[in-house]
Structure 1
Amino acid sequence: MKEKVWVVDNEILKDISFYNGFTIVEQNSLEKIFNNAYFIDRDIAEIDESKKQIIPYVIIKNEKNQILVVQRTKKQTEKRLHNLYSVGIGGHINPIDKNNIPEITFYNGLNRELNEELYINNLKSLEYVGLILDDTTEVSRVHLGILFIAYVTSADIKEKENFNELWLNDSEFENFNGNFEGWSKIALRALEVI
């Protein structure tokens, strides 16, 4: 069976004033996105630039004020992102996440993705930050990131074969020479880390 993913038509996004990169939008704009989202086959969504796949993108921050950084290994499925570093945990919303209330569909997907990828010790809070829209690459043109920060006591990656992990504080990002994927660069600039 083909994977289905949650998408929104670009037409819906035209009423939201945001630009290429990071934008803070109000909760009612998120509701409009969620209320107009629907599921289609992922293989169609990956090439249809009239739609955006809705992706929860969560930065994990521990009690030492460090951010989790993961590097995608060559064993990870998305070949276009191999060896790049990321500060975001997240992924597609699938029909398994569906609820009659669209906002709950989104949060079900966010929680499922976090639980699939991380062992989390004490999720203290989850803070909405804004939207990531990046039209500069083939991958990012068909995705819309909804950026959050999760404050945790600690966390650990589950898929050690697919990701290498490290924790960096703000000053360590200044000297870090790894190549971050596009959304991570946007997110770190939004948080004024880089």
Structure 2
Amino acid sequence: MNEKVWVIDNEVLNGINFFNGFTIVEQNILEKIFNNAYFIDRNIAETDESKKQIIPYVIVKNEKNQILVVQRTKKQTEKRLHNLYSVGIGGHINPIDQNDISEITFYNGLNRELNEELYIDKLKSLEYVGLILDNSTEVSRVHLGILFIAYVTNADIREKENFNELWMNDSDFQKFDGEFEGWSKIALKALEVI
């Protein structure tokens, strides 16, 4: 059976002025996105540029003000991202997340993705940051990131075989020479970390 993912039609985003791949939108725009989302087969969504797959993308910060950075190993299925570094934890919204209230569907998916990827000691708060829209690559053109920061006591990666993890503070980012994936670059610039 083919995976189904939550998408919106690009026309829903008309009128939003994205700046350098990132923008902050008001709650009513988020509601419009959620209320117009629907599920389709992922294999269709991956190639249909008239739609965007909605992806919660969560930066995790600990009590030392460090950001969790993960490196995707070659054992991970998405070959296009092997060896790249990421500050975002997230993934697709699936029918298992569905609720009669579309906003809850989104947060169910966000919560499920965080818990699939991480052991979290204590989630203290979750803060909305903005939207990531990057039309520079074939892959990014069919995805819409909704960026959050999760403030935690501590967290640890579950899939050690698929990811290497490190915690970095602002000065670590300044001297870091690894290659970040596209959305991570946008997210870090939005947070003025790099």
Q: Same fold per TM (> 0.5)?
A: yes
What amino acid maps onto 1:187 in structure 2?
A
Q: Deviations over 1:71-99 (max 9, x none)?
A: 00111111111110000000000000000
Inter-partner Cα distance in structure 2 for 1:46 and 1:20: 23
Q: How many angstroms does 1:138 deviate by? A: 1.1
Structure 2 residue 145 is the aligned partner of structure 1 residue 145: yes
Q: Deviations over 1:128-170 (max 9, x none)?
A: 0000000001110100000000000000000000000000001
Q: Is the 8 A contact 1:86 1:180 kept in 2?
A: yes
Whether 2:73 is the aligned partner of 1:48: answer no
| CA distances 1:39-97 after superposition (whole Å, capped 9, x unpaired) | 00000000000000000000000000000000001111111111100000000000000
The match for 2:123 is: 123
For the 8 Å contact 1:73–1:163, the answer to whether it is kept is yes
Deviations 1:16-46 (A, max 9, x none): 2324411000010000000000000000000
> Distance between the aligned counterparts of 1:173 and 1:141, measured in 2?
27
Alignment correspondent of 1:111: 111
Unaligned stretches of 5+ residues in structure 1: none
Q: Is the 8 A contact 1:20 1:135 kept in 2?
A: no
For structure 2, the 5+ residue unaligned runs are none
The CA deviation string for residues 92-126 of structure 1, in whole angstroms up to 9 with x for no partner, is 00000000000000000000000000000110000
In 2, the alpha carbon distance for the partners of 1:6 and 1:61 equals 27
Q: What is the CA RMSD across the aligned residues, in angstroms?
A: 0.7
Quote the residue 1:175 is aligned against: 175
Write the distance in 2 (CA, Å) between the matches of 1:73 and 1:117: 14
- Helix, strand or coil for the counterpart of 2:69? strand
Q: Which amino acid aligns with 2:107?
A: Y
Partners of 1:5 and 1:39 within 8 A in 2:
yes
Contact 1:120 1:155 in 2 (8 A): yes
Q: Greater CA deviation, 76-85 or 153-162?
A: 76-85
The alignment covers a number of residue pairs equal to: 194
Identity, in percent, stands at 86
Question: Residue 133 of structure 1 contacts residue 145 of structure 1 at CA under 8 Å; is this kept in 2?
Answer: yes
Counterpart CA distance in 2 for 1:20 and 1:48 is 23
Alignment TM-score, normalising by the size of structure 2: 0.99
In 2, Cα distance between equivalents of 1:16 and 1:22: 11
TM-score relative to the length of structure 1: 0.99
**After the TM superposition, which parts of structure 1 deviate over 6 Å for at least 4 consecutive aligned residues?**
none
